[in-house]
A and B are shown apart, each in its own frame.
Chain A
Amino acid sequence: MAEVAHQADVTEVGYQAGPLLEVDNLHVEFPTRDGIARAVNGVSYSLEQGKTLAVLGESGSGKSVTAQVIMGILDEPGHVSAGEVRFQGRNLLTMSEKERRPLRGNKIAMIFQDALSSLNPVFTVGWQIAEMFRVHQGLTRREAKQKAIEMMDRVRLPAAKNRYNDYPHQFSGGMRQRIMIAMAIALGPDVLIADEPTTALDVTVQAQIMGLLHDLQRESNMGLILITHDLGVVADVADDIAVMYAGRIVEHAPVHDIYRAPAHPYTKGLIESIPRVDLKGQELHAIKGLPPNLLRMPSGCAFHPRCPYRTDQCMTDTPPLYDVGGTRHSACHHWTEVIDDAR
């Protein structure tokens, strides 16, 4: 159903093959009292229909800010200083708010990390899901309620009908995230952005939610951007991984290539810091040092103060995204060394 509807849209705008969503050389700045914080410095990635792109990075790497720019919900005083975000070929950033609002929630939807604070505490969950149908499709209260209950069933919420009138605080963490998902996919979006959807959940519940997202994505053929700092979460579901560090993409590659042989020292460090059963008893690997202050970015490669492969070149020249072969890219001057070490 969703697929048919999507194809109708495609012909309407005269849009053919090519990525569903493209982020192109995006720069985002936050003016602060101490100077300009450059949260995103030339990020580019693209998302195909039905594919999952995992955006990996630690806090402050710019992964959530990029997502907020795609949604158009970036908080003041943050603003885009350069770059484009194209959805089905059209640049979202030059659209008027009036053109853009019908896309938001409808074609591009987003779920957040903490479902308890992201759901409005004073409205029932059913009302909040039904609001999507009432506002975007102009359905009556009764029709919207019917649809909302269908959505609650679709995210496998037990006894959906009886829980329509319950408030967010009356649900468990996993159930609340299911409600967020139901709300986000209510109108059959083409792109779903999940910003750390499982970080606030128990490990067992994390697996269930990831499974649900994966199933829903396959059913409706949406593109999924999965933002996370947890490499373990993405292995099973992602097609591609973009690793972000200090507002840049440092490595972009298909998921299996990255696990087999990372081509950037930061990615390598992340993979080595995953606890492994066969290395039990040994000290866990950690990336030394702290992420850089966005107000005082290191010269050259932003990762050089923490990097074991550092040379003089790294301190002066900002590495471009080198073509590593296939669809892989790495922003490291010494990527050949890194990749050889991993093998």
Chain B
Amino acid sequence: MGRYTLRRLLQLIPVLIGTTFIIHFLVWQLPADPFDGRCGQRPCSEAFIARMNEQFHLDEPFYVQYFIFLGKMLTGDFGVSFNQVPVINLIEDAYPNTLKLALVALTIEAVIGVGAGVMTGLKRGGFLDNLVLVSSLFLMALPIVVVAFFMKYLFWAQLGWIEPNVSTEVRWSELIVPGFVLATTSMAFIARLMRANIAENSSADFVKTAKAKGLGSGRVVGVHLLRNSLIPVVTFIGLDLGNLMAGAIVTEGIFNINGVGLTIFRALSLQDATIVVPLATMLVLVYLFMNLLVDLLYGLLDPRIRYE
């Protein structure tokens, strides 16, 4: 397991170099003048442009810029934005909010998804089963923008239970509706995945054995059936956490939550590559680590899988 982890960590190096190169290349190649509109209504002065060129190496060739960026990242220096704000400050402001939103969404999708999956998997063909099957298909087909606007319309405009925007303190209670919006697609997917697993495993021989052992139905389902059926779901949830931690541009935008998704979106529209590139790099890193974690977790959950 130790050797496997080490090998996986070493594999991260080329992946990380490759992805940062692509991100760096794409963002800096955007056909736009970084000084466009940066100095109000007037064009920027020669002196300002010269100073910016000097500070951000804008007149160096592309690959030189990349190696300068890489060198700084290796020392943990995220640099400053065109507005001279340290990028690390932006991350420190945004990341806790994204993390909170991700946790709320994850809890909602795991609890409702697994619960609905177990109930429908055990009683297939009933009313609840059809309800869950149809509504999950509906939720998966619906774009998240629609879900978000509908929820906002219902809970703010009609019921008045929530404020239109999440406050700057980002309280947990304020995140329930945005978290639900963010969770919908995965929730529907988990419900279907769990239903299929429960349905398949409930006719498995080991469930028959558990019944023949004289165990109560609670123990047969809650211990023997659930443990086996949860393995693929836990894997999915782990990978989804990687996605959620990369921020949610739409949800954060609609509910005005200052998270990484919205920060990246703002930086992109301001053409500020100095923010986009380090932030995107960090998200890639987080995703890769989550991926590794899920693979290791899989080995713990299913004893038949061993890493050499």
Residues of A within 8 A of B (CB): 71-73, 75, 101-106, 109-110, 112, 114, 117-123, 131-132, 135-136, 167, 169, 180, 183
Q: Are B215 and A167 in contact (CB under 8 A)?
A: no
Query: Is B3 at the interface (CB under 8 A from chain A)?
Result: no
A120 / chain B contacts, CB cutoff of 8 Å: 206, 209-210, 224, 227-228
Question: How far does the alpha carbon of A309 sit from the alpha carbon of B211 in the complex, in Å?
Answer: 44
Closest to A169 in B: B304
Once the chains bind, are A73 and B302 in contact (CB under 8 Å)? no
Specify which chain B residues have a CB less than 8 angstroms from the CB of A135 in the assembled complex. 213-216, 219
* A101 B212 Cβ-Cβ under 8 A: no
Q: Is the interface of B mostly helix, strand, loop or mixed?
A: helix
Residues of B near A112 (CB, < 8 A) are 205, 208-209, 212
Shortest Cβ distance from residue B134 to the other chain A in the assembled complex, whole angstroms: 23
- Please give, as numbers and ranges, the residues of chain A lying within 8 Å of B215 by CB-CB distance: 105, 131, 135
Q: Which one of B204, B206, B208 lies within 8 Å of A73 (CB-CB)?
A: B208
Q: Residue on B with the closest CB to A68?
A: B208
B203 part of interface (Cβ distance < 8 Å)? yes
Contact A110 B212 (CB under 8 A): yes
Nearest B residue to A97 via CB reads: B217
Instruction: Give B203 Cβ to nearest chain A Cβ, in Å.
Output: 7
B121 to chain A, nearest CB (A): 14
Of A104, A118, A167, A169, the residue contacting B214 (CB under 8 A) is A104
Most buried by A among B213, B224, B231, B301: B213
Q: Contact at B213–A131, with CB atoms within 8 Å?
A: yes
Least CB separation from A136: chain B residue: B214
Can you name 23 A-B pairs with beta carbons within 8 Å? A73-B208, A101-B214, A103-B214, A104-B213, A105-B213, A110-B212, A112-B208, A112-B212, A117-B205, A118-B206, A120-B210, A120-B227, A121-B228, A121-B304, A122-B228, A123-B227, A135-B213, A135-B214, A135-B215, A135-B216, A135-B219, A136-B214, A183-B213
**What distance in Å separates the Cβ of B223 from its nearest Cβ neighbour in chain A?**
8
Docked Cα-Cα span, A114 to B302, in Å, equals 20
Question: Which chain B residues lie closer than 8 Å to A71 at the CB level?
Answer: 211-212
Smallest beta-carbon distance B91→chain A, Å? 39
Chain B neighbourhood of A118, CB < 8 A: 205-206, 208-209
Interchain CB contact under 8 A, A114 and B212? no
B203 near A122 (CB under 8 angstroms)? no
Of A101, A122, A180, which contacts B216 at CB under 8 A? Answer: A101
Contacts of A136 in B (CB 8 A): 214
B219 touches A114 (CB 8 A): no
- A73-B212, A104-B213, A135-B214 as given contacts; A122 in contact with B303, CB under 8 Å: yes
Cα distance, A105 to B204, chains bound together (Å): 18
5 nearest CB pairs, A to B: A105-B214, A104-B214, A117-B205, A105-B213, A118-B205
Contact of A117 among B204, B211, B219 (CB under 8 A): B204
